[in-house]
Amino acid sequence: MSRILIAGNWKMHLNVSQASILVHRLQERIKTHRDVEVALFPSMLAMQPLSMQIDRRKFRLGAQDGHFKDEGAYTGEVSISMLRELVHYVLVGHSERRHIFGESDETIGHKVAAAVRNDISPILCVGETKDERSSKLTSQILHNQVTAGLKNVTSREIKHIVIAYEPVWAIGTGDIAKPDQIASAVATIRSNVAHLYGVAPSKRIRVLYGGSVNADVARAYLEIDGVDGVLVGGASLNYHSFSSIVGSAYRLTRER
């Protein structure tokens, strides 16, 4: 059984002081567990001070994005190379990066490779829009995004990759993805990994679910076959909700 990963993406919320208070409250409520890993993804501004504050026995630190070039004349950017030894994870290809900032599959593939090159585990986010699902293109979209995202990853490096299935139509919309829809998408993702790297890596790779995850439904998502954790958005900003989600993962591992 893979170690469950609970990841909290704070997006463009919380200044440095507010982020510090949230971490303090989470550290009071969340306990260490060998079968559950908790990762926090603050803003880039809060990253450095939080790296000094967090209890690394309880939490991993992650970045929400990073530029794939190690250095250069890219005003305002922070390279993934600069995040080396500061974070354990970096989100790559989040739907907001794809659809708001226009990141291409090619760019996302370069970011995945840059993360691996700098000893950071990328969480490759993939998922279809509402129109794509309505047009029955989900499998094709997942195939394209997984294949492009892993294009520069070798068979030795695939063990460092995490994939998050986040249907765009279920993120912050109130639309809830059904268990059978999630299970089917996760199976498709693993099938694509198997085609590229073999059956064994496709079983070992961790696949998360993200899309309107909150304390009420997290347990149900974690029970879906093939789901190894959740990528939490808005609920991760509330220490009661996020602690409850982590608690659900703890209880599930004990029962298993």
Catalytic positions, written as ranges: 94, 166
| E strand intervals along 54-213 | 59-63, 89-92, 121-126, 162-165, 206-210
Rounded CA-CA distance 23/18 in Å is 9
Tally Cβ neighbours within 10 Å of residue 108: 24
User: What amino acid is encoded at 84 in this protein?
Assistant: R
Q: Which helix (H) or strand (E) holds 5?
A: strand 4-9
What are 230's two structure tokens?
């959740």
Instruction: Give dist(CA 88, CA 165) in Å, integer.
Output: 20
Question: Tokens 């994870």, residue?
Answer: 89
Residue 67: C-alpha distances to residues 64, 90, 111, 127 (Å): 11, 11, 7, 21
Q: How far apart are CA 74 and CA 89, in angstroms?
A: 22
- Give dist(CA 167, CA 220) in Å, integer: 17
